[in-house]
């Protein structure tokens, strides 16, 4: 079941990530970590306005939306398949072809452009985040590790792809649990995943990749949740819930310190799930939801994966080029304006690059992955049947 609004929501989330990166290229009012500063602690008009813009353009909340959407959509895709090992093997094949081809092409572009044209310079009035990128030459070992997603230091957003792949390995098991046990056991399983996420945030062995496991599972829980919400929530309340959910989703990271990521992600996941549920079931017709039907937003949703993975390197080169020609006095005086200009230019370029990537790489590889998965599944079925005949 294809739901247009959810594809558009993915595009909006990708746009949120892109703009948030543009706003943190420069230090603002001598603040080199504006994203980690609370609104009340932002000193200076530009710092306050930048931090305020980082509420709607909240990259962290956008990532949580991605993961809830993945859990929901992947669960629906498995609902349409037979419950056997061949279907789950086909699922793995499709995920690889969905994630890797466009990523490999993008990473190759990053490696070549950095290797051929980049010289690291620590520019004044730039953020700690911007200064951290590409300080050393890219080695062959580092490049190969990034291709395999063992390391993710060459593309800002690649860590989320690594999370997607790790969760994809475990997803069929989580799906079987979700679809074959009752509500109480599902709640217990979700609670255990939340505990794992909490421990990942406080223990020395904690890992970012364990933090988001429960977020995918919340997405898996949405189909029965939508049915229950329809029983208990009146028609007139949906629009209010939708608006409140958006506000809570966007404000979550403003309520907690950067060291308390678990609580922020937990709140984001709950309200992202409500937003996805409402949009999936067409429960509101507010302007905020009708935006998702705009043609440009639908196209952005369609190209969102390529847009997401290409935007960072496009932004980096635009900022790098800008810093070659703009004086430190200007970057110190107008960091917010420069960030907005970078956002307009980088988002526009990334949109058209993403369109080329979608039609040239993504869509052909998705189709090829589906065909390959079916062939392998069919071969496995024939082999299984032949073994059965021999045993008889």
Helix (H, G, I), strand (E, B) or coil at 129: helix
Of 35-49, 82-96, 277-291, 341-355, the one with minimum mean pLDDT is 277-291
At 140 the pLDDT is: 96
At 120 the pLDDT is: 94
Write the pLDDT tens digit of every residue in 295-318. 999 999 999 999 999 999 999 999
Number of folded domains in the chain? 1
Write the pLDDT tens digit of every residue in 41-56. 899 999 999 999 999 9
At 89 the pLDDT is: 87
Structural domain of residue 191, as residue ranges? 4-388
Name residue, tokens 């009146």.
Answer: 234
- Label each residue of 144-182 as H, E or C: HHHHCCCCCCCCCCHHHHHHHHHHHHHHHHHHHHHHHCC
- How far are the Cα atoms of 113, 124, 250, 310, 339 from residue 117, in angstroms, in the given order? 6, 20, 38, 18, 23
β-sheet bridge partners, residue 26: 126
DSSP 138: P
242-254 mean pLDDT: 93
| Euclidean distance between CA atoms 289 and 330, whole angstroms | 39
Of 95-109, 196-210, 331-345, 349-363, the one with minimum mean pLDDT is 196-210
Name residue, tokens 């490049």.
Answer: 143
Which has the closest alpha carbon to 223: 11, 71, 5, 62? 71
Is 389's pLDDT higher than 50?
Answer: no
101-106 mean pLDDT: 98
Which has the closest alpha carbon to 230: 178, 271, 269, 280? 280
Confidence of residue 282 (pLDDT cuts 50, 70, 90): confident
At 204 the pLDDT is: 54
Averaged confidence pLDDT in the chain = 90
Which has the closest alpha carbon to 142: 123, 157, 155? 155
Q: Report H helices in 32-84.
A: 45-53, 59-79
| Euclidean distance between CA atoms 168 and 363, whole angstroms | 20
Scored b (16 or more CB within 10 A) or e, 278-314 reads bbbbebbeeeebeebeeeebbbbbbbbbbbbbbbbbb
Write the pLDDT tens digit of every residue in 192-222. 999 988 887 776 555 677 889 999 999 999 9
Helix (H, G, I), strand (E, B) or coil at 303: coil
Is 366's pLDDT higher than 90?
Answer: yes
323-350 mean pLDDT: 96
Is 380's pLDDT higher than 60?
Answer: no
Is 322's pLDDT higher than 70?
Answer: yes
Is 386's pLDDT higher than 70?
Answer: no
Is 272's pLDDT higher than 80?
Answer: yes
The phi and psi torsions of 26 (rounded to 5 degrees) equal -105, 150
Q: CB-side exposure of 315: number of CA atoms within 13 Å? A: 32
Is 391's pLDDT higher than 50?
Answer: no
On the 0-12 / 13-18 / 19+ scale of CB atoms within 10 A, 96 is: middle
Confidence of residue 171 (pLDDT cuts 50, 70, 90): very high
175-200 mean pLDDT: 91
Task: Report the Cα–Cα distance between both ends of the chain, in Å, rounded.
Answer: 40
Is 180's pLDDT higher than 60?
Answer: yes
Is 364's pLDDT higher than 50?
Answer: yes
347-371 mean pLDDT: 96
The 10 Å Cβ neighbour count of residue 10 is 23
Confidence of residue 341 (pLDDT cuts 50, 70, 90): very high
Structural contact between residues 332 and 125, judged by C-beta atoms closer than 8 angstroms: yes
| Euclidean distance between CA atoms 131 and 250, whole angstroms | 27
- How far are the Cα atoms of 28, 148, 278, 308, 371 from residue 314, in angstroms, in the given order? 22, 22, 34, 11, 33
At 339 the pLDDT is: 97
Is 274's pLDDT higher than 90?
Answer: yes
């Amino acid at each position: 079941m294809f739901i247009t609004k959810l594809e558009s929501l993915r595009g909006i989330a990708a746009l949120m990530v892109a703009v948030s990166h543009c706003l943190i290229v420069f230090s603002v009012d001598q603040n080199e970590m504006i994203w980690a500063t609370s609104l009340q602690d932002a000193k200076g008009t530009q710092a306050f306005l930048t931090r305020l813009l980082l509420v709607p353009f909240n990259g962290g909340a956008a990532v949580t939306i991605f993961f809830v959407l993945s859990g929901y959509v992947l669960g629906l895709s498995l609902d349409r398949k037979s419950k056997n090992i061949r279907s789950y093997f086909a699922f793995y094949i499709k995920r690889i072809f969905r994630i890797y081809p466009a990523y490999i092409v993008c990473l190759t572009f990053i490696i070549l452009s950095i290797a051929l044209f980049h010289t690291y310079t620590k520019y004044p009035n730039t953020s700690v985040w911007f200064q951290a990128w590409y300080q050393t030459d890219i080695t062959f070992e580092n490049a190969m590790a990034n291709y395999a997603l063992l390391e993710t230091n060459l593309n800002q957003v690649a860590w989320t792809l690594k999370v997607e792949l790790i969760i994809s390995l475990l997803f069929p098991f989580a799906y079987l649990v979700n679809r074959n046990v009752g509500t109480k056991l599902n709640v217990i399983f979700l609670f255990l995943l939340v505990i794992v996420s909490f421990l990942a945030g406080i223990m020395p062995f904690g890992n970012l990749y364990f933090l988001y496991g429960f977020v995918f599972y919340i997405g898996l829980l949405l189909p029965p949740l939508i049915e229950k919400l329809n029983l208990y929530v009146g028609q007139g309340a949906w629009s209010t819930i939708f608006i409140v959910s958006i506000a809570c989703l966007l404000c979550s990271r403003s309520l907690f310190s950067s060291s308390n990521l678990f609580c922020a992600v937990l709140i984001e996941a709950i309200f992202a799930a409500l937003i996805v549920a409402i949009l999936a079931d067409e429960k509101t017709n507010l302007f905020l939801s009708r935006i998702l039907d705009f043609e440009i937003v639908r196209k952005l949703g369609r190209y969102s994966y390529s847009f997401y993975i290409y935007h960072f390197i496009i932004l980096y080169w635009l900022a790098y080029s800008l810093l070659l020609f703009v004086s430190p006095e200007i970057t110190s005086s107008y960091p917010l304006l420069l960030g907005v200009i970078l956002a307009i230019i980088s988002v526009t370029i990334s949109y058209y690059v993403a369109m080329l990537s979608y039609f040239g790489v993504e869509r052909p590889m998705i189709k090829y992955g589906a065909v390959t998965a079916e062939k392998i599944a069919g071969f496995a079925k024939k082999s299984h049947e032949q073994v059965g005949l021999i045993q008889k």
